[in-house]
Amino acid sequence: MYKKVYLITQEEDKSNIEDIVANIKEKYNSEILEIQANQMFDIDDKNKNSLYLLYLDDTNIKQFFKKYLNSNISIGILPNDKCSIAVKNYAISKDLDEAIEDAFNIELLSSIDILKCNEEIAFTRISIGDMHGMNRLDYNKNTRIDKIKIFLKNLKEISFRSYTLTTSKDHSIQTAASGITVLEHTSAISEDSAIRDELSIHDGKLNAYILAPTSLISYIWYLISIFFYQKISLISLPKSLGFIKTTKLTVTSDKDLGYKIDNMDFYEARTIELEVVQDCINIHLGRPLLDIVKKDEKQLEEKDEIKINSLPKAELSSILIGGKLPLFKKASDDEFKDLLVSLKDSASFSYTYLTLMILSTLLATTGLFANSSPVIIGAMILAPLMAPIISLSMGVARADEYLLIKSAKTLVIGIFMALLFSSIYTLFIPLEQITSEMQGRLNPNLLDLMVAIFSGIAGAYATSKEEVAKSLAGVAIAVALVPPLSVTGIGLGLGNIDVILGSFLLFITNLVGITLSATLTFMVLGYAPIKRAKKGIFYTSILMALITVPLFISFMQVVEKNDYMSKLNSIKTLEFNDKKIELNIKSLENKSTAIFLDIEVVSSKHLDLVNYNFIKQKLEEQVDKKIVLKIIPIIKIH
């Protein structure tokens, strides 16, 4: 129990002061000394049995804290209309009697950290620049339409400044950012904060969030997180945000930085010194923070934490400061150099490439004649064609003449060797039957183009990300580049023009689809500006448009065939002159003049031509088209 209470006030309404004094005398029997705010620095009583009860506005409370940092005195805060920030920050009850009870509750006494900014005290946050929504504490008071207007306004108004950030361990970061928010702590009871993590009031660390979107896409996602989800967590931090947890942080720039303390006082400076003074004030917190007080003894010192991999650097920083926020993130110089070296190697012809090309072709050709899917899949994995195609895509994206010529030469050699060896190998195989594995590669349609497009996206992404490069084998299997070439070689060996044209169309579909989608993927990943890639994309798109015409026709034929098959399969059984007939359609070929059906006809009795004509008539009525039947009669014996 406190024996002496210093009631420090600037309250002009004496009746409020009298009520406070009467309450304390009645309940706690303490000696009370009333001190005016202009005399509060004259007190020099550091007795543990004394309580400093502050009935002041936010500004005077900060001045009091600044004077008595590390003085070991006990402090309580009483609520009033002029100290709303302190009341909210320390969870002080707005009920005066309840706040007095908390001020005399020893369990709520806690040594807390204080955030300083250029020697000024901050209760909650320092806001540097514009955090676009993170600093808006009144956002939820707006209507839905107003929220959308605010969202769109922020989308238009983003700008960047150069910053140099130096931590307590002299770790220096140079970047471009729109703004920085620095928090000393947050708590679970804070309803107006976008931060969903509980940042400790006792860890001796400040928490800096740096807004630096590297693309319009990442910035839009950040705005959605802030304005609609209103949740930001260190576990899943938006890519537009960097994060630094440290004891001291120095923020400098080449021009004056505007910043606010607690969203109130505005200052300007080129250098902003931020520091957390640990456990420097003994204060009675509000009862909602009792659990935090109990954690005091268990609080372990935390290490500095720096999450800045997504922050813009070097060339990208210059672009952002210049006022241009790219649609997609631009890859860093290091990322681009490493990838370019890899792609140049992939574009170059080598004897290893030649050997793998020949072996994969021979393996695929063998699998096609053997009608063996596992053997063909093995050839897909062995085939080296995907690498030069991805290099060609980067050449198109960056209009890089070296990559274009090198990868094109390597591709042409690979294609020529595949056709040569598969056709010669076919001449030595005494088989001429077109197997189902060959047949499946003779009628490409839009679905094959979609496979190529998705494979190109996956191939470009896997190539640019070292951690997923092992997925290239799966991409090679999905797109199957060598088997269509092998079928074309088989067609050359057999002299079958239909086989040649159908299979080579599939290969060209794969080649163009992968090239265009991989090119666009590299642009999205920031490896090439749109201006540089326009010409290459234009020609590739024309090629794709030309290929799409036969693919679309083929696809519509597939749709029509499936429609006919669905209608015909709806007739499972027929009855004719007490004869029950079961129908099983084995295959369907749709031609312009008629539908050719291979069909099993199952009956317990012998069927004659009249019965078969009856079946033909019923099927033709179902599809409204002439049908030619190839019937396999099956007699069921009970």
Q: What is the pLDDT of residues 382-437, one digit of tens each?
A: 888 888 998 999 988 888 888 999 999 999 999 999 999 999 999 988 888 888 88
Q: At what angle do helices 497-524 and 386-398 cross, to 10 degrees?
A: 50
Q: Are 342 and 309 found together in one domain?
A: no
Q: Are 511 and 575 found together in one domain?
A: no
CATH number of the domain where residue 9 is located: 3.40.50.10330
Nearest to 220 by CA among 234, 239, 192, 236: 239
Q: Are 350 and 270 found together in one domain?
A: no
Q: Are 317 and 337 found together in one domain?
A: no
How confident is the model at residue 469, as a pLDDT?
A: 55
Q: What would the DSSP string read from start to end of 475-543?
A: HHHHH--HHHHHHHHHHHHHT-HHHHHHHHHHHHHHHHHHHHHHHHHHHHTTSS-HHHHHHHHHHHHHH
Total number of domains constituting the chain: 4
Does residue 111 belong to any structural domain of this protein? no
Q: Are 455 and 339 found together in one domain?
A: yes
Q: Which residue has the higher pLDDT, 328 or 176?
A: 176
Q: Are 545 and 501 found together in one domain?
A: yes
Looking at every residue in the chain, the average pLDDT score rounds to 83
337 pLDDT more than 80: no
For the chain, first and last CA: distance in Å?
A: 102
How confident is the model at residue 362, as a pLDDT?
A: 94
CATH number of the domain where residue 144 is located: 2.60.200.40
The pLDDT tens digits for 39-55 are 777 777 677 788 899 99
Reading phi first (left if > 0) and then psi (alpha if -120 to 50, else beta), residue 132 is in left
Exposed, middle or buried, 545 (CB in 10 Å: 0-12/13-18/19+)?
A: exposed
Domain boundary residue among 44, 75, 104? 104
Does residue 288 belong to any structural domain of this protein? no
CATH number of the domain where residue 391 is located: 1.20.1080
Question: Which residue segment(s) compose the domain that 576 sits in?
Answer: 570-635
CA–CA dist 331, 315 (Å, integer): 10
Q: Are 583 and 457 found together in one domain?
A: no
CA–CA dist 336, 359 (Å, integer): 33
Which residue stretches of 257-350 are H helix? 290-294, 314-321, 333-347
Does residue 370 belong to any structural domain of this protein? yes
Q: Are 99 and 150 found together in one domain?
A: no
Does residue 281 belong to any structural domain of this protein? no
Contact (Cβ atoms closer than 8 angstroms) between residue 160 and residue 112: no
CA–CA dist 573, 584 (Å, integer): 9
Q: Are 341 and 469 found together in one domain?
A: yes
Give residue 309's pLDDT band: very low, low, confident or very high (50, 70, 90): confident
Q: Are 137 and 200 found together in one domain?
A: yes
| Single-letter amino acid, residue 582 | E
CA–CA dist 113, 125 (Å, integer): 13
Task: Read off φ and ψ for residue 173, nearest 5 degrees.
Answer: -130, 125
Q: pTM (2 decimals)?
A: 0.69
Does residue 113 belong to any structural domain of this protein? no
Q: Are 195 and 95 found together in one domain?
A: no
Does residue 291 belong to any structural domain of this protein? no
Domain boundary residue among 557, 588, 605? 557
Q: Which residue has the higher pLDDT, 480 or 626?
A: 626
Does residue 562 belong to any structural domain of this protein? no
Does residue 585 belong to any structural domain of this protein? yes
Q: Are 369 and 404 found together in one domain?
A: yes
